[in-house]
Chains A and B, each alone.
Chain A
Amino acid sequence: MEKFKLVFTGSVAAGKTTAIQAISEVDTISTEVRPSEESILRQKPTTTIAMDYGQVTLEGNEKLHLYGTPGQRRFDFMCSILCEGALGLIILINNSHEDVFTELDYYLNLNAAFLSKNPAVIGVTHYDEVNTPSIKAYQQYLHERGDAWPVLRADARDINSVAVLIETLMFAMEYAVD
């Protein structure tokens, strides 16, 4: 089993594939095809159907393995498979989505078993295009849910922004998880 593994999840067009491509030191392995669902085709021309994979080399030639789940709901079963043995979960939410909090609820509930023992961080993407709801609104929503995961705005295209998400997850692992 891979020792150091992180999983990126979230809805279609949230930026999972882009984020892994931004940070990976190798060409990412993507399983992208033309979407079968019309609603998704309107958002982007291709979508992930199995998973994305990228990696970052660590000290001692260890690898940090980065996996991205598919966005289409019919592939949600991949989440629990990919999360097995993972250090944590990065949930990306596209802020231009019409109902971001329903999306957030969905991914937190889908991964509830994993998150009962492991950390998460929420990355809000496309914030430069649409800045409502605000980051504070997300935080208030999580607070009402009883979840204390960090929420940050993120640019999936920017390696620094993706690195901040990963580091935030690592600090949550250090301080917040038994």
Chain B
Amino acid sequence: MKKLALLEFSQIEQDRLSAVLDLSTMALDEDWLIAPIQVSELLMVNVSALTQQAWKAIQQGYSGKTLVAYGENSELFSAHYRFYKKMSGTPSRQLLIELLNQYQPLNSQRQAPIAKEYFDPEQYFLSVLQRITGEQKNYCCQLGNQITLYFAPKQQSYYCAFSPTMLKSLFLSHPDKVRLQSISDAELASAIQGVPAKSLQGLLWQATIIASQGRCLENQKSSDIVHLEYWPDISQHSNVKNSLAIATFMNHNAVSMELIARYTECQLSDVIDFHNACYLQGLIDHTQAFYLHKKEVSADTRKLRKTISQGLRLRIAA
């Protein structure tokens, strides 16, 4: 029986998490119980209203515990795990299951990726994908007994019953947890019957966005001047609207990620994730001098853009 302690949770929030935990029992690899901090191996901290200073104090006070940052802003906190909280306030059952199933004790030999201050692709499944993409051979890839993917790099395709958004636990896995085996064309053809081909580039993109978690790559800062030299293939993105705004702005300016977030009204963490995904595909130029095309975005133009976007959404929904 594994134990999970909660810190900085109101009574209502504790009750909600407890209820979601009860509903998750059948899907969990092990039994979990909410217990006092002293006897728990996992400590989930509600960071929604927490300052970075308070967070540092918690990290120091509970240095022997595995910490989970839980909140709408969890990406801003350096933790062993992050558990994103939806605006509705009810914890996501799917995310809780993924979190608890991928948990590994700090002292185990094969550790889950420790959340570094910076984003290190080598710590995630992404590094496996990057290697596969450049190969000529086909591969079968498995995570535990639940997730199997087949790769045909020559066609830039992969095959999997799950959508990319359901592969989050895979994207957050350390490469050591993944079993990779090369397979022949005949074995691939037999395994993928009836499964449609999906874009390998799209999977690479999603894997980077999920693993990145709002952190800059090593030796990069959110104040660095960046310019998008080539557009990514937006059609493969899950959050197209954000991608459109960030890509258009980055393509026409050479400014910091912080400024991009301000002008586009996107979260800085989203801009950082977008930048990282583009950078790893060779689409970013870090050598340009600061250049801002328009000092101010016209309020009328922005309003017009939003009006047309709203009209299109209603048209699609009709």
Contact = CB atoms under 8 A, between A and B. Distances in A.
B247 A150 contact: yes
The secondary-structure label for the interface of chain A is helix
- On chain A, which size bracket covers the interface? 35 or more
From DSSP, what is the main secondary structure of chain B's interface residues? helix
Contacts of A148: 251-252
B62 interface: no
A171 B245 contact: yes
A136 B247 CA distance: 14
Given A152-B231, A153-B235, A174 B240 contact: no
Contacts of B310: 58-59
A82 interface: no
Contact of A136 (B230, B244, B294, B314): B230
Contacts of A139: 230-231
A148 B229 CA distance: 9
Given A136-B230, A148-B251, A171-B244, A164 B315 contact: no
A178 B309 CA distance: 20
B311 A59 contact: yes
B311 A64 contact: yes
Interface string B285-318: 0000000011001100110110111111111101
Interface of B: 229-231, 233-235, 240-241, 244-245, 247-249, 251-253, 263, 293-294, 297-298, 301-302, 304-305, 307-316, 318
Given A25-B315, A163-B312, 18 more contacts: A4-B304, A23-B312, A57-B311, A57-B314, A58-B310, A59-B307, A150-B231, A150-B248, A152-B231, A153-B233, A153-B235, A164-B235, A168-B234, A173-B301, A173-B305, A174-B297, A175-B248, A175-B253
